[in-house]
């Protein structure tokens, strides 16, 4: 009998507080390999915090977070949890690509250097191989010819596409997107979403914090609506976004679906 394949990501009763403020209040979530999951909800609902906990940029206080069946950031020894050392955590994080709201590119490096540096410094890839891979990825995200441009010479949408290429250069098993279009001018949003749509067709597992309901409806396999640190509603986006059960979600959608 074959061994069951664990979910790519599983959250079990995850809690996180900042001082007296509990931001995540027992969150449960399951993302299968190859699925696109969108996290939606009002500002301050815990979406970005949950995303940051998945790659241990934030340490959750209680519950379990697993990627491919393995605890994130911790290991179990003698029935006690111990945080992994920095080297182990960096190795885990290298396989989880993350794209931030504010791009986080190195301003002093060109586009190709931004995409190359992680391959060389973290993965130990030789410079020529890393540069060839970077050119391929920049072309994939529609930036052929922009290899030598610096972030200050690129639009916000172009910078975000460089950030996506940089994350893909690490050959991640999972991609996390933290409101990747919210800092962009409206006319630049589409070019980033097009890259994400294309990525979804390749079978990449993606968790996307977004306010782009059209993208969620079109691309996501599942949607989770967070409010005040809890999952208020979840399921198929065609159901959740068109026929919500909860009054809170109906209220939220009435404000964002304009």
pLDDT at residue number 192:
93
pLDDT value at residue 102: 84
Write down the pLDDT at residue 227: 95
pLDDT-derived band at 255 (thresholds 50, 70, 90) equals confident
At 193 the pLDDT is 94
Distance CA 79, CA 244 (A): 41
pLDDT at 183 over 90: no
Does 172 have pLDDT greater than 70? Answer: yes
The pLDDT of residue 215: 92
Q: CA angle, 175 as apex, 131 and 54 as ends, to 5°?
A: 125
The pLDDT, as a whole number, for residue 221 is: 96
The position carrying tokens 């969620």 is 216
Grade residue 218 by pLDDT with cuts at 50, 70 and 90.
very high
pLDDT class for 220, splitting at 50, 70, 90? very high
Question: Would you state the pLDDT for residue 1?
Answer: 57
Least confident of 24-33, 72-81, 127-136, 163-172: 72-81
Average pLDDT over residues 147-157: 95
pLDDT, tens digit (0-9, with 9 covering 90-100), for 59-94: 999 999 999 988 888 888 887 878 888 888 888 888
Helix (H) or strand (E) holding 24: strand 21-31
| 8 A C-beta contact, residue 89 and residue 56 | yes
Task: Say if residue 258's pLDDT is above 70.
Answer: no
Residues 106, 117: Cα–Cα separation, whole Å: 10
Give the whole-angstrom CA distance, residue 105 versus residue 133.
18
- Higher pLDDT: 87 or 257? It is 87
With a CB cutoff of 8 Å and minimum separation 6, the contacts of 229 are 22, 23, 24, 25, 27, 45, 46
The model's pLDDT over 21-44, given as tens digits with 9 standing for 90+, comes to 999 999 999 999 999 999 999 999
> 146 is written with which tokens?
């922009």
Q: What is the mean pLDDT of residues 235-258?
A: 90
The mean pLDDT value for 178-202 works out to 91
- Per-residue pLDDT at 135 exceeds 90: yes
Predicted model pTM: 0.93
Average pLDDT, the chain: 92
Neighbours of 251 (CB within 10 A): 12
Determine what percent of the chain is predicted with pLDDT higher than 70: 98
Structural contact between residues 96 and 134, judged by C-beta atoms closer than 8 angstroms: no
What confidence tier does 16 reach under pLDDT thresholds 50, 70, 90?
very high
The answer to whether residue 136 scores a pLDDT higher than 70 is: yes
């Amino acid at each position: 009998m074959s061994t069951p394949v664990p979910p790519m990501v599983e959250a079990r009763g995850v809690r996180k507080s900042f001082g007296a403020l509990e931001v995540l209040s027992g969150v449960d979530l399951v993302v299968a390999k190859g699925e696109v999951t969108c996290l939606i909800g009002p500002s301050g609902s815990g979406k970005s915090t949950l995303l940051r906990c998945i790659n241990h940029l934030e340490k959750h206080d209680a519950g379990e977070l697993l990627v491919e069946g393995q605890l994130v950031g911790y290991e179990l020894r003698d029935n006690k949890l111990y945080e992994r050392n920095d080297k182990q955590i960096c190795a885990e994080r290298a396989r989880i690509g993350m794209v931030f709201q504010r791009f986080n590119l190195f301003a002093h490096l060109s586009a190709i250097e931004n995409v190359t540096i992680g391959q060389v410094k973290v993965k130990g890839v030789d410079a020529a191989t890393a540069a060839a891979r970077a050119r391929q990825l920049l072309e994939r995200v529609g930036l052929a010819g922009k290899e030598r441009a610096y972030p200050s010479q690129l639009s916000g949408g172009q910078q975000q596409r460089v950030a996506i290429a940089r994350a893909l250069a690490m050959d991640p098993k999972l991609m996390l997107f933290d409101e990747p279009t919210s800092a962009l001018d409206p006319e630049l949003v589409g070019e980033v979403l097009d890259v994400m749509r294309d990525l979804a067709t390749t079978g990449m597992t993606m968790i996307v914090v977004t306010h782009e309901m059209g993208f969620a409806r079109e691309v996501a396999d599942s949607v989770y609506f967070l409010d005040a640190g809890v999952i208020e509603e979840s399921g198929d986006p065609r159901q959740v976004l068109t026929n919500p059960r909860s009054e809170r979600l109906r209220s939220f959608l009435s404000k964002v679906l304009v």
